[in-house]
Structure 1
Amino acid sequence: MFEDAEEAELRKHLSGVPLLNRLRVVERLRNQRIGTALVRAAEQVVRERGHAQLALGIGLDNADAERLYLRLGFAEWPHGLVDTYYMVFKDEREVREPELCRILVKELNQEMPLKRD
């Protein structure tokens, strides 16, 4: 997402910083470096558009995602947790569900070399 976030804390501290939202790999395809490839592709697009940072939020119960992002060079921001939301369908309508998130940010100033297997 290249627009500023709806959450005031994110607008204040990450104005103009693209946000990676809702990246998911189907469970049966996890641990095959698909998530890594998707994140690196997103980073490349962000760099090509002239941005030096990329941010994302992860739910507090998503330890697997946190490990992935930390391994890829993201770091927790110093401004604490953020109350945010995600959209779900209930009774055939879209509803906002609250979610407390940990915010991670990555500096993209330098190209990360591609890791060859």
Structure 2
Amino acid sequence: MRIRECREEDVALLDEHMPSPGAACDHASRFVRHLGGGSTLLVAWRGELPVGSCEIRWEGCRAPEVRAVHPECSEISGLGLWPEALRSQRVGTALIHAAERLVLGRGRVSVGLGVEKNNPRTQDLYKRLGYRPSTPYLDCGSYEDSAGLIHRVADACTFMVKDLDPAGPVQVP
């Protein structure tokens, strides 16, 4: 497996092999933010197929209640793996560690990520990786279904934070 920043030609492959609900988290929107410098979009590859991705939002979580508590904290957002059979095979961990290295490379000393409150398996993974629960918030967004209907969602989440040690190496999976 290799992890690298997304390229323009990768977006079509991501759309084909990794479904993404919602306009704010679709691959094209994330790539536009990546090109604009507001984020970095990472893609994990097995052979010639994308199997995971995440976005580092340099300005942090868009939820105002999180920004108030963590104004200087970048966010790892939109972590996804596909197919789901890849869970528990360290793909997500590898993406998180790659993101942490980039955050440290920018001179930042903390990073966070959101997790739905009803997702204890993912919460446990993040805790094992050194993240601690910090701030509850609602992750609000919308998506368009195959019939063209817009659905608005508000997921109860917890923002989890990790302090990065600039003197120590970030684990390599």
Q: Normalised by the size of structure 1, how large is the TM-score?
A: 0.84
What is the total number of aligned residue pairs between the two structures?
113
> What are the equivalent positions in structure 2 for 1:1-117 lying under 5 Å apart?
1-26=57-82, 27-77=84-134, 79=135, 81-90=136-145, 91-92=147-148, 95-109=151-165, 110-114=168-172
Q: Deviations over 1:74-99 (max 9, x none)?
A: 0111x4x2122244223436654111
RMSD: 1.9
Return the letter of the residue paired with 1:114. Answer: V
- 5+ long unaligned stretches in structure 2: 1-56
CA contact (8 A) 2:142 2:153 kept: yes
When normalised by structure 2's length, the TM-score is 0.59
The one-letter amino acid paired with 1:11 is R
Indicate how the Cα distance of structure 1 residues 6 and 114 shifts in structure 2: closer, same or farther if over 3 A, else same.
Answer: closer
Deviations 1:41-67 (A, max 9, x none): 000011111110001110011122111
Q: Secondary structure at the match of 1:10?
A: helix
Which consecutive residues of structure 1, in runs of 5 or more, have no partner in the other structure?
A: none
SS of match in other structure, 2:80:
coil
Name which structure has the greater RCO, CA cutoff 8 Å, separation 6+: 1
CA distance in 1, matches of 2:79, 2:105: 20
Greater percentage in strand: 2
